[in-house]
Chains A and B, each alone.
Chain A
């Protein structure tokens, strides 16, 4: 495993203590870590998924808006935090690794270290509902 910045290590350590799902990505969007509550939300243990690229995780964790339409990666809070380096907040649905649809509220923010180092971004999730069928228009498709 490559050596990580202290801020990333501290964020990961904090996430391990929190009972809310937390996901951490590196500057290029590679998934660096998600905690145990996020494992329950995403339907897969972190040890099983490991470090995956942004291209992979946006594909295997599809996001759907409130109307049931696919949410483009660039509209997801974590992508906004990472690419535009600002916080973002949104409610949408995801289909987890386990195939279950979950309605989530997501707050994401960039991790900016001292001396302008861009370290990645953090997403914090609140699950507000779940369903075995896709929401809205996607069901009709």
Chain B
């Protein structure tokens, strides 16, 4: 594992103690860490997958608008946060690998370190379950 910035280490440590699903990505969108509550959303354990490139983790679920139409990747709050370096908030649906439709409310914000260094972004999820 490459050496991580202290902000990333602290964010990861904090996430591991929190009950909300949390994703942490690097400046390129590669998944650095997800906590235990997020494992349920992804359908994978972090211990099994480790860090993942954006091309891999983005295929684990299918994001949809409220009307069921596909939600493009660039409209996802986490993608906005790491690409545009601003906070974003949105509700949308996903269908996970387990086939369950879930309505998620997501808040994502960029992680900026000292000297304005772009470290990545964090997404926090709130879930409502709607098995269809």
By a beta-carbon cutoff of 8 Å, the part of chain A in contact with chain B is 6-7, 10-11, 13-14, 17-20, 86-89, 105, 107, 109-117, 124, 126
- Complex: A112 Cα to B14 Cα, angstroms: 11
* Minimum distance in angstroms from B88 CB to a CB of chain A: 8
Which single residue of chain B is at the shortest CB-CB distance from A124? B109
Do B113 and A116 touch across chains, with their CB atoms under 8 A apart? no
Most-contacted residue by chain B among A6, A109, A124 (CB, 10 A): A109
* Chain B residue total in the interface (Cβ 8 A): 26
Do A87 and B89 touch across chains, with their CB atoms under 8 A apart? yes
By a beta-carbon cutoff of 8 Å, the part of chain B in contact with chain A is 6-7, 10-11, 13-14, 17-20, 86-89, 105-107, 109, 111-116, 124, 126
Do B112 and A10 touch across chains, with their CB atoms under 8 A apart? no
Known: A18-B7, A19-B112. A86 touches B14 (CB 8 A): no
- B residues in contact with A88, CB < 8 Å: 89
